[in-house]
Structure 1
């Protein structure tokens, strides 16, 4: 057992009593009297150290796995493993911090070390110091493991995002082009042979197992699957409605319970039926090895298709209008129900087709054609759904119903957005962006299914919370009578509980909405990427771009919409449940409205990068800094605008400013960043680039030029020298043939011929290396030909002071 150490000890002094001295002696002698204390004290530390070592080993395994090519499932597995290792390392470090506090408490109890300290106390102090050093080192290991785990998770998220970007940006031949169908028809014979081989291998194994005896397991699984799919499912639904739902308190709770029960049974019964069918084949040995993954995909397809059908059926309630949760009329439910069945069947077929293409291993052309067919079917179904919604809205608009018109406004905006997405996806499909089109279509379908399920849960949570926690319910009566809680407090608690749970459901729904489409890191990761893509020109630390302006407008309207929804809930639900009179309710409503509008405006400004502190800072800078630094700031700002408008210098240009030469990496409204040859960054104010001379080597032409100057003796063959130079230029790969190299005689002086040769390369950055290579070849050739090259010879004469000059 681990000894329990006191948090502190009183200091020992001469005036302490005998009882204090005795307690101190017993405390100091306790480790000597208990022989199992050291082992027991080290036991939890050793256990936590082993837990940390296991976490480090798991992280090392994840790191090694990331060196190989992983699919989506393996990547998710490694991410889960890294998160588990991070949690284990963090828990171990936290527990060791508690152990460290215990050891520090014992060291504090021993007091400061003295020269005449007892040997037992000295040994105990040394032992505690060793324990403390070991625990502290292990804690640091745990923190480092947590950081490494987070880095691995971030790397996995980045790889998933990169794969998602590759998927949506990949382009193939258009389905309208002959090349697309030529590739499909060319690959059909081989794909048919692959399918035939897949079926032959499966049927051969089934025949072999069939001779071994009657497969009663497969028959039993098939019978149970069919029974669960139809009669048992219907019977359980009726049983739940009769015994469970009818006993629920209140009509609203019974209505929500009925909808959730239909979804639960409608999803689980077919899913269990498909599971029993596959397991029966597996237990009887009739399941071929290559068919296992396909039948597992069949179970998944049945489960998701059943979930889609049951959720849409629970929302529409075509056969039970009195149990309908959504504010829909019978005509709407009747028109939309067949489309929901088509959506369920399409979801089932899509999952099964994707699995079949992957498991059978068909050609890339047939895979792309399958994806194109899935995208087209999804888009046609969505278009049919939108047409039906449009007809229903037109019929509803003729009724002059104010409530219908208010709800139709939001529905119209959502319908317009859906039409835009369908149009973009259809154009992308025709242009050959099959992956992008399929993802957009599946996203709309998944958003519809998920939105329906979340709507049911939101209504059910509100119904249950506000029905259970009310002053007239059994729980409310018990709380008011037994605990003396006010009835209004019970009602308020129910409303607050409902609001909190619904907010949590919305957050979870947002994560589930974007997770299947490359946003494994959740909402923050996705919005972080979108925010990075929307960055524009930086002006005073504020990003100015069309995306930023649109984001600010959207944030403003979204904030005002949230304020409106909150005010509706406050005025119609929460305030009537309080004990406030009309005047108090009006005051609370007005204050909440003004605060909400102010927060919406602040949120909109914050989305633009303009906070209250920035506004205050700007005002103070305008009032104080006009006479000091505003002139230089304005000059750089105007110069930055000129650079961005006239573009005498662009990102990627090779320029020379003074004695420094480098590549332009970034142009902002205040300064320009230039990367020099030593990889350092030179930050130049924009006014320096406008008011002073700047050499831009890549402005007019991207070509670079090589110039070589040398001299040979006057008796040398000038034509041969010229041929050697041209051959050297031709042998160098970096030298361009157009413009052609040229060799000129620059001058004849002091008995030597001066040559000046020119050649061009693709970029100025390649001129230095190419010039060096040409020099190396010229030196070798001239040495072979015996040609002397160099500069004009100089003669030095020494004259004595007493000797007259010649």
Structure 2
């Protein structure tokens, strides 16, 4: 009965799995059928050389959507497939050959059922994998074609604007474009416009009034807010200055947007006038945005300027930025009006060339100002008489050099007919400088916020955390800079998709989500390990009888085990299969064995020191001729603090394999030996008694075992005695020696006992016939 129930349950599970797999396979097959028509059309479009870029972009978007679906289907039933493969591996390989014994019918049936399930589950995955590769290949082909067309467009030549033959037709086309613009406005149906205005009067009225107020009074209101904050001495004034400066451009920008809404709803604008009016928010963004960046980077107040240039240089830089902004607005308006009449390439070149020259002249002056940038530290030479510039100063001067180069090259390219190439380097470079200025302003704002939170104030601008914030802002600006320099949004999304898919190591696919999971799990494990160590150090271990060295060894061992377990849990939780790295690890093991054998030896020795504890932190040891206290036992080495207050780093292998003297291992009791000599003829028993009294009078000398006084030898100049005594704390050895020596001098002086010093008689032999002066010298 039980076997029957088990069979029914297995059949039910098998049917459920097969049904689920069938549904999945049906969905994938339906998607693949729909995708096939799109893929065929895309392949035909790719083969045709005259397919418009817009059509290729549209096809690419559809292909990317299908590719995402197939990518998701590649992991369909992944856990179930892995489980079935594990079951097949557990069953082992099927018997092969004529003489092989047949396997049991139950095993054969189980193997067949598992293979059936596995084939059913793998079918949609294989279809998804095939179609994913097809879609991915088409995306790469389309991207290649579009990039080649962009390159061809940049390198194409247009009529030179220096040719006078094009000036007359260009002037005529400009006049026609503006005439058509005004004619359209004049021919506007007044009755219809009035009707539209009547229907939208509330919107037009309130939007217009609010827009005008914000446009003409917004900056005044922002200045009043700044004055109020300054009067009340608001905390974090740098933050409020930043906010007020934003309000100074936000209020007028919102006002322009409201005026655009009012003008569009009024009904008096034609199609061409509407296109121009819709440029107002963009124009406002250019005006106020560039002006805001220039006022932050080249601020009027020296302490707020992001680049500490002279006041005249900052004023000139702001003037040139405003000039570039004005010229860019003229260029945008002129192109918009011209595009209405579909102008020729020659007309575009003639109209845009003077504006490009003006922009280049202003950019050239800004480059000169940036090239002259110097930090105060550069004016102070070092000991060798040399001055070193920081990386920030080098970047600023490099940006200035680039501005000078672009301002020279761009007009020349325009003059020789490379209009698109000139535009591709001039405008992006100007925008890049603006974006970098915005990054600097936001980094200063983050520093002020950090200073307000931590209480460091202005000093926080030189701290490490604001630098970290600046790096993050720079990374966030990278996609914007890529778009500025001609990258397409599709390029960035493709790069992000490739990054999201990750990379393959062996049979493991490691994606950013895996890395993020690894980092989060490891960080949690590391934090728990440190919290446990802190709890043991402060609450548990002080209440035990374990000595300080044992406590430190226990905490260090717990830290190593905790980090190892955290890494193991992070690898497992992130789904990283390390078995695929076995071959790579085996290949690297030989190199690691030879190249890192000393490090491995020291690491193992450090573990031995923590387990056996022949030395502990706080012990007084002597190794390799160096004596001092053990201050830290790390994985690779041990730090010893000598009596000169210098640190000696000793590799752990030397402590394990070498000879080490530990003066305080187990207890602090130690023996001190003090030598003293007396003159010949002195009563030795009396000297012995005096020395014993002196030793016994010392508070740190143990009474048991009692101090001992020995007559050790008959020296060349004295009778040599030794005091041998055991101290309660050997760390006070030198102090006890000094006290005993002082006592010996005092007692010997009182007892008239002489401490002799070395004496020598020198005999000189001379030969006959030597000079009298030498004999005199000898006699003397």
TM (norm. structure 1) is: 0.48
